Amino acid sequence: MTEWWTYHLSDFLLFSAATYRRLFELYNTALWPAQPAVVAASLGLIVGLLRQRPWAPRATAVALGLAWLWTAWAFHLQRYAAINWAATWFAGAFAVQGVLLLAASVARIAPAPPVVRTTRRMGLVLLLYALVSPALLAWALDVSWRQTEVLGLAPDPTAVGTLGLLLLMLHPARVGGRPSAPCWRWVLWPIPLLWCGIGGATLWAMHRPDALVLPVAAALALLTVWRGAGDGGTRQRP
């Protein structure tokens, strides 16, 4: 019997990299021309966040909540489950995250003026990265646009974009002299962080050059939260 330590992560993959790319090609073809509309809406929300429009955080939470619900049904259940039995579990987790984000949108989530500057910047960076990087990577690797993952329609960029929004949702209330978020908001973090690990492992098993993007995004988000707490609110917006 082959020893367990001789196995590689790719040995447990249920499909090939070509099959995974073909999955997105069929998915994007079926959804066209929804992608340009979703990208335009995402860009509009990010611009609203950059300009600190009061409606932008709530609208972004609603949009991402709907994106998680859509991805749970249209991608995981309707397509990914055909090649990966675990996709039904992924769909359940994505549905839960979508409901949580929609619930968060009902609450008062717009950050007050004294938000730690580095936290806000990293949140916007992650949102912009989730929107732009898949297209740039497809161009760099000479991959068809039909295989490109779109923020709001595909799980990976949606998870990264959600981490960006969660950084913007951190509340500047102080606990022990340090900025903190209301306790209930931390329930929004585990599923995107967990997906970054699962998605990164899947890409790594397929030897994709972008395999580390998701884990790095999760690490940057957590590091930003930790550093923001360590700043004690000294670096703040005017």
What pLDDT, on a 0 to 100 scale, did the predictor assign at position 178?
Answer: 44
Max CA separation in the chain (angstroms): 65
Q: How far apart are CA 49 and CA 189, in angstroms?
A: 20
- Give CA–CA dist 108/104, Å, rounded: 8
| Residues 6+ away with beta carbon under 8 Å from 106 | none
* Residue of 73, 93, 110, 89 lying closest to 185 (CA atoms): 110
Write the pLDDT tens digit of every residue in 6-65. Answer: 444 444 466 788 899 999 999 999 999 999 999 999 999 999 988 888 888 889 999 999
Question: In angstroms, rounded to a whole number, what is the distance separating the alpha carbons of residues 182 and 160?
Answer: 21
Rounded to whole angstroms, the Cα distance separating 14 from 158 reads 23
How many residues can be counted in the chain?
238
pLDDT of residue 141: 72
Whether 129 contacts 220, CB under 8 Å? no
In this prediction, residue 173 carries a pLDDT of: 40
CB atoms within 10 A of CB 71: 25
pLDDT in the model for residue 116 = 66
Give pLDDT tens digits for 132-177. Answer: 988 887 777 777 878 899 999 999 999 999 999 999 876 544 434 4
